[in-house]
A and B are shown apart, each in its own frame.
Chain A
Amino acid sequence: MAYSNKVLDHYNHPRNVGSMDKSDPNVGTGMVGAPECGDVMKLQVKVNPATGIIEEAKFKTFGCGSAIASSSLATEWLHGKTVDEALAIKNTDIVNELSLPPVKIHCSVLAEDAIKAAIADYKKKTAQNADAVAAN
């Protein structure tokens, strides 16, 4: 399979690889995919609660080069975005940026799902914290 230069670049130099503390209230974690399907993405965002801006994004991915590139690109795009701006990232944006072939479109869908899952996790945590504060 021919990979675009951008996919190769992300594969050879993945951005923002790593893990953040899941229990940090400002960190949202999304894990999507399944080992038997050949793709698992873990994507984490750290949000500044005062500004609502994503200050850090990290990923780890088990999957093909396109899956690695899609999640690596997603973490780059997440930096500096607000939570709502992050939710506006579409899989088609990733497809276009990385020139993914049709057979690899599911990788971009997975990256979008991972973003949404991470932000949903963050929002759930903040809502729980708000409830906890209100209960006090």
Chain B
Amino acid sequence: MTYLQVQSNGLVDLDMLASAITDKTILISLMYANNEIGVIQPVADIGRIARARGVLFHTDGVQAIGKVPVNVNRDNIDIMSLTGHKLYGPKGVGALYVRRKGPRVQLAAQQDGGGHERGMRSGTLNVPGIVGFGEACALAQAEMPEESRRLAYLRDKLRRKLETELDEVYINGTMDSRLPHNLNISFAYVEGESLLMGINDVAVSSGSACTSATLEPSYVLKALGAGDDLAHSSIRFGLGRFNTEEEVDYVGDKVVDVVRKLRELSPLYEMAKEGIDLTKVEWTAH
């Protein structure tokens, strides 16, 4: 198994990917779009490389389907994982796309039993879940052109608000290839969990898992090469079908207020404003 590092914009380096393929490589597996920073990988290019080298290509399309057009033939995707609850479908139902021809993908079943679904997954089918998932896909497909424009407009409005009214905010991951509803921002010198606490009537997540017992910041942001300090200062905003422009304006105002208040409280902000290089300070680790 070879793990590939991503670039600082969150995207896989295609040259690095191509050179990592060896005679023994049977599969490339890559997330279509990332759940934390929303970046969309160059899936079509990767599919082309995989096909040319005779390697199967699996992608986790969970975040992408229903948000951006996904086409397994255009992108040479051989296997794709999907789930219902990320596109307003029911929880507890997913799908695995498996290419039937060109090339035919053969998988070993993970469970034995009655041989349902051509022996691939034995067990009684969750019919209501399947129907609901299918309907959710149809709705998402129908609404996608308009909905993704709407979400991108709201997301960009929020971004502009935060970037014009606050200094030292940093977008995590490229904006050039990104899901329309995702914004992941680091607010330097402000700790993410304290920021969440100040906007507790808004459901967002701190990119860092600082509410967990490990206190480890997000591995996704660390993979981009963000320092641990910025990873501790990040928030993911995810917009959805039911968010209105009023709500987005409210969130923008509130985040600006809370970040300003917390920076008043922040010894790091004070030191940075005094011109102290925080990387040169001898901190007492704990």
Binding site for B on A (CB under 8 A): 1, 3, 11, 14, 17, 19, 31-42, 60-65, 67-68, 103, 106, 109-110, 113, 117
Contact = CB atoms under 8 A, between A and B. Distances in A.
Given A34-B285, A35-B283, A60 B270 contact: yes
A11 B189 contact: no
Contact of B232 (A14, A36, A61, A117): A36
A42 B281 CA distance: 13
B114 interface: no
B197 interface: yes
B259 to A, nearest CB: 12
Most chain B CB within a 10 A radius of its CB, from A36, A38, A60, A61: A38
Contacts of A11: 194, 197-198
B188 to A, nearest CB: 10
B228 A35 contact: yes
- Among A32, A61, A67, A109, max chain B CB count under 10 A is at A61
A51 to B, nearest CB: 28
Contacts of B215: 37-38, 106
Interface residues of B, number: 31
B82 to A, nearest CB: 32
B123 interface: no
Contact of A65 (B194, B208, B213, B286): B194
B227 interface: yes
Contacts of B283: 33-37, 40
B266 interface: yes
B197 A64 contact: yes
Nearest to B284: A32
Given A33-B286, A60-B266, 11 more contacts: A36-B227, A37-B285, A38-B192, A60-B265, A60-B267, A62-B189, A62-B266, A65-B197, A68-B194, A113-B284, A117-B284
